[in-house]
Chains A and B, each alone.
Chain A
Amino acid sequence: MRQAGELDESVLELTSQILGANPDFATLWNCRREVLQRLEAQKSPEELAALVKTELGFLESCLRVNPKSYGTWHHRCWLLGRLPEPNWARELELCARFLEVDERNFHCWDYRRFVAAQAAVPPAEELAFTDSLITRNFSNYSSWHYRSCLLPQLHPQPDSGPQGRLPEDVLLKELELVQNAFFTDPNDQSAWFYHRWLLGRADPQDALRCLHVSRDEACLTVSFSRPVLVGPRTETLLLMVDESPLAVEWRTPDGRNWPGHVWLCDLPATSLNDQLPHHTFRVIWTAGDAQKECVLLKGHQEGWCRDSATDEQLFRCELSVEKSTVLQSELESCKELQELEPENKWCLLTIILLMRALDPLLYEKETLQYFQTLKAVDPMRAAYLDDLRSKFLLENSLLKMEYAEVRVLHLGHKDLTVLCHLEQLLLVTHLDLSHNRLRALPPALAALRCLEVLQANDNAIESLDGVTNLPRLQELSLCNNRLQQRMVLQPLASCPRLVLLNLQGNPLCQAVGTSEYLAELLPLVNSILV
């Protein structure tokens, strides 16, 4: 019929019989849309009004059959969107009624947000509505989520302030509300998620974290605050050398040119010559309105400029930095709850996050204890927790390194299961990863452009993808790992300055012909221990 173009009331009648019994039939809704669109052109306004009225009534009856039918709600959106004078009050009433029956029907919540936006319902009224539903049953993701959308609208921050955050008095009131929820039922996730949002901070703006120029490698490296894609055209990332633009080819260290934290380019000899007392390099990230400048002095091998992790408090996880008194009192009430509910994982995790937000180094020991408890009560997520713990420990070590103002990072004996934040290690020259539980040296390791010595003994490493194109790597120690296939050693060939390689205690050492293979693969490495 559709193909024959027979789009008239009889189609409406036919589809209504099927949809009335089972509204989850997208094709038929599409059919109805086509019919209605056609009839719109043919009918008089009165006839059309009657038609719309019938359609709304029909939609309502379908929603009674299945209040969670995607097609029905979508069709209603579409229909209301086409009406010259939609009756939004009626629609809000409809939503209220359906949410009365099931306060967690997220389809209806979705529709309500659509209606509220169309009808320009004041956020305060909608907030009061969420209040009433939370009062009835606080286990309601949709309602909490809606609050997180409405509150920033109700309390817009001054332009300079962090976007999406709440003024302190509002924040405190919300925290009290959400605390009531998780003290009443600490196993209800919805409240904990809202709590996380309340304490969270706005997404940071794009920033250039670090800029490094190396004379030897004739190379400039940039590290971003988030993974970005720098197009083949250079407009997105501009390089100014001594205040004049220079066209360069940007690439990622691993050569794959996927979105990443670290991008680099080769510099022509003219930009690095020693005739001037210094060269200035300025990089401008046009998409994110960020830039950074560094100077390469005459006679120096390298020059850099970077944001300090300690100043920017990069690692205070997702939690807010501005309200430490608030965080402190949240920590106290969570500890109180934890005493009553020693096995509640949400509470334990929140304590850990709060401690990180407050002072990662001060609470390091305590945090590790909480991790142990948490792993015991939530063994299903043990691996996730190990990774999270690794991340926090790495952040702490990084902070300690920066306080010490060195370029040597010791991560040995930390039970790490994963490596992260490697883009922050752009300037590190010596890295010790020994005695951990690492299973790989991940591709992101290729960001360590200054790395000279890498020790990763006594791990469970099976692959070395990250040991690629490391321009300054001289020594690599991989004793007692799980390297089995010779093939995995292939990336090492891309490190031009590698002179010492220790592979003792790996399965591949047993294999016949390994030494010969290595000699062929790595002709420049003087010393290979197998």
Chain B
Amino acid sequence: MADNLPSEFDVIVIGTGLPESIIAAACSRSGQRVLHVDSRSYYGGNWASFSFSGILSWLKEYQENSDIVNEGPAWQEQILENEEAIALSRKDKTIQHVEVFCYASQDLHEEVEEAGALQKNHASVISENPTEAVHSAYLPSEDESLCIASCEMLTEQTPSSDLETALEISNVKVTGETEKHDDKTCMKSASEEETSKNVPTTEGTALQPKKTRITYSQIIKEGRRFNIDLVSKLLYSRGLLIDLLIKSNVSRYAEFKNITRILAFREGRVEQVPCSRADVFNSKQLTMVEKRMLMKFLTFCMEYEKHPDEYKAYEEITFSEYLKTQKLTPNLQYFVLHSIAMTSETASNTIDGLKATKNFLHCLGRYGNTPFLFPLYGQGELPQCFCRMCAVFGGIYCLRHSVQCLVVDKESRKCKAIIDQFGQRIISKHFLVEDSYFSENTCSHVQYRQISRSVLITDRSVLKTDSDQQISILTVPGEEPGTFAVRVIELCSSTMTCMKGTYLVHLTCTSSKTAREDLEPVVQKLFTPYTETETENEEVEKPRLLWALYFNMRDSSDVSRNSYNDLPSNVYVCSGPDSGLGNDNAVKQAETLFQLICPNEDFCPPPPNPEDIITDGDSLQSEASEASVILEANSETPKESASLGNPEEASQ
């Protein structure tokens, strides 16, 4: 297909992460001809989500020592005399220190395969050539004896043969099937009933420990139920991304769930943080007086700017010191500092803390009782939603399409074209390149920070309640000075990111060491490794680990453009994911770059609604029918699931 690509565009975007995808959508919406390419076989770059087999393939890719040598036709000869080339990197170096642990028992007798295995990203988004997606599925090379080199097995059996089988079989499957993941009804296929039989929910755990064993083969088999995010983020319900999704109407491509609770880890115990008015009212752990204190303080934070006399004297000290001066019990101080302002003892001053608290409260109640939303099927959906928008307005998409170099005109010092893997020269006016695509030559002066990440599959929630479908966020403060707070996000199966009976837990912090060194202490505090020898009757308090993954990801978010060597002015850099909780960074970046490319253009205006173009006579009827749709949607969707277009504002 590559030879069919037009040879001229207005904007070429390299990399399909969130900022790149937003820009691509915005440019396409404004009438620019957009080519959007990614050298990977999936959308999202480091913003992607994977099924279980998908993540195994992804891991393998990063653990292969040799470069994927994919030498296309030599590009050097295409460079003319008045031109020079900026070679792009072949290999992604953003992921390091990958370590995988499997604790679930490996059942050798069972034939394992991932039902309908297919990395869902491939099929879900409009592609210029639908078959491209199918061919791009992971194909581990035959001679590879074990897909995960550094896999440390804590159980007696070795997983290797099992894993291998799993992947081989899934390979066979993959090539034959083209399953569309957006066909949501098909997700509730027969296999789900099967799951519920084999894997009782956590509630059964204590009573019948035998039945609760989730084996590795089950995880493999149900691998399609997983959507494992490389980057763990949430959407602030009044954050820039939500505003953008609503404004651009991209929200219709995605569904969201409200985070159901905010947790805190204090004195070895996980407890729920009451943060909304309803939470405080319903809380059983706060005394009456604490309720009043907390409400009073939070009410003050909502409009702290109006009462400067209350905080002016404390501007110079840290927020945690300031909290001590307020009428708050230590209990409440901890909640406000770590779980609501989500800062640390030393990190922020009074004003920052008040600002963060206000932002948290401001987001509360728009869609539910917490300030956060999570996209169903994972964070990786979001870049794809914007790509879809881009494609709707004519953007052209090529995955597994790498770019060998940027061609720069010597005289004007402007980039004029790219040369792709097939040696095709494609001209464009603007070039957006995601940081990881630059070669070491370009980045030699860049100082990167790192994000420590861990992904766990567990068998129960860190805080059991009546409902086993909770989505929680928990902040564990850094223990020693200089270490960073760890953000824990626990997803239940109704977020469509893990199989029934399991929880998918994401840990994130700014790196000070390797991911495992940074995060393992927290993992050990909250979870216990799954072991075979466990006594049947023992009441296990902590959730058990079935599977764990650690890795470091490069954080290119606050790299100044000037630190890259010799970039022509029409080459713009997009950063990879940052370590923050929200997505504001990506949206800000996208909007800033878009304004450079298309000055004075509206950023992602709503697309014209076909229903808006109607003759006078119809107007009444269509309004009525729309109203009915909204109400029905409200009554039918499960309570927690939020429909973005129609925010239910708290009526206070």
A interface residue numbers (CB < 8 A to B):
20-21, 61, 64-65, 97, 100-102, 104, 135-139, 179-181, 183-186, 333, 336-337, 340-341
Contacts and interface: CB of A to CB of B under 8 A. Distances in A.
A183 B288 contact: yes
Given A64-B627, A179-B288, A340-B296, 5 more contacts: A21-B620, A65-B627, A135-B278, A180-B281, A340-B292
Contacts of B288: 179-180, 183, 333, 336-337
A32 to B, nearest CB: 18
Main secondary structure of the interface of A (DSSP, over half): helix
Contacts of A104: 651
Contacts of B627: 61, 64-65
A179 B634 CA distance: 32
Contacts of A333: 288
Interface of B: 277-278, 280-282, 288-289, 291-293, 295-296, 327, 620, 624, 627-628, 631, 634-635, 648, 650-652
Contacts of A136: 278
A184 B291 contact: yes
Contacts of A180: 281-282, 288, 291
Nearest to A177: B281
A237 to B, nearest CB: 51
Contacts of A61: 624, 627-628
A512 to B, nearest CB: 63
5 contacts: A100-B634, A136-B278, A183-B288, A337-B288, A340-B296
A494 to B, nearest CB: 58
A341 B292 contact: yes
A135 B291 CA distance: 15
A20 B628 CA distance: 13
A211 B75 CA distance: 117
A22 to B, nearest CB: 12
A490 to B, nearest CB: 57
Contacts of B652: 139
Contacts of A101: 631, 634, 648
Nearest to B284: A180
Contact of A186 (B292, B634, B650): B292
A181 B288 CA distance: 9
Contacts of B281: 135, 138, 180-181, 184-185
Contact of B292 (A102, A135, A183): A183
Most chain B CB atoms below 10 A, which of A104, A137, A139, A186: A137
A186 B281 CA distance: 11
A97 B632 CA distance: 9
Contact of B631 (A64, A179, A181, A184): A64
A65 B627 CA distance: 8
B631 A97 contact: yes
A137 B651 CA distance: 10
A102 B631 CA distance: 12
B635 A97 contact: yes
Contacts, number: 64
Contact of B277 (A21, A184, A336): A184
A175 B650 CA distance: 26
B258 to A, nearest CB: 13
* Smallest CB-CB A-B distances: 7 pairs: A183-B288, A183-B291, A184-B281, A183-B292, A97-B635, A184-B280, A340-B292
A336 B327 CA distance: 14
Nearest to A98: B631
B634 A138 contact: no
A101 B296 CA distance: 28
B293 A340 contact: yes
B628 A138 contact: no
Contacts of B295: 183-185
A64 B626 CA distance: 11
A229 to B, nearest CB: 45
B53 to A, nearest CB: 40
A181 B280 CA distance: 9
A334 to B, nearest CB: 10
A513 to B, nearest CB: 65
Nearest to A337: B292
Nearest to B281: A184
Contacts of B293: 340
Contacts of A21: 620
Q: Taking each of B278, B628, B650, which has the highest tally of chain A beta carbons within 10 Å of its own beta carbon? A: B278
Contacts of A135: 278, 281-282
A341 B300 CA distance: 14
Nearest to B289: A336
A64 B291 contact: no
A340 B289 contact: yes
Nearest to B279: A184
Most buried by A among B291, B634, B648, B651: B291
B278 A137 contact: yes
Contacts of A340: 289, 292-293, 296, 327
Residue of A61, A97, A184, A186 ringed by the most chain B CB atoms within 10 A: A184
Nearest to A104: B651
B284 to A, nearest CB: 10
Contacts of A20: 624
A323 B293 CA distance: 29
Contacts of B292: 183-184, 186, 337, 340-341
A81 B277 CA distance: 39
Contacts of A65: 624, 627
Contacts of B291: 180, 183-184
Contacts of B278: 135-138
A180 B288 CA distance: 6
A100 B651 contact: no
Nearest to A103: B651
Given A21-B620, A61-B624, A136-B278, A183 B289 contact: yes
Nearest to A21: B620
B300 to A, nearest CB: 13
A365 B634 CA distance: 56
Nearest to B295: A184
Most buried by A among B281, B288, B292: B281
Contacts of A337: 288-289, 292
B107 to A, nearest CB: 43
A81 B121 CA distance: 55
Most-contacted residue by chain B among A137, A139, A183, A186 (CB, 10 A): A183
A64 B624 CA distance: 9
A102 B648 CA distance: 10
A102 B652 CA distance: 11
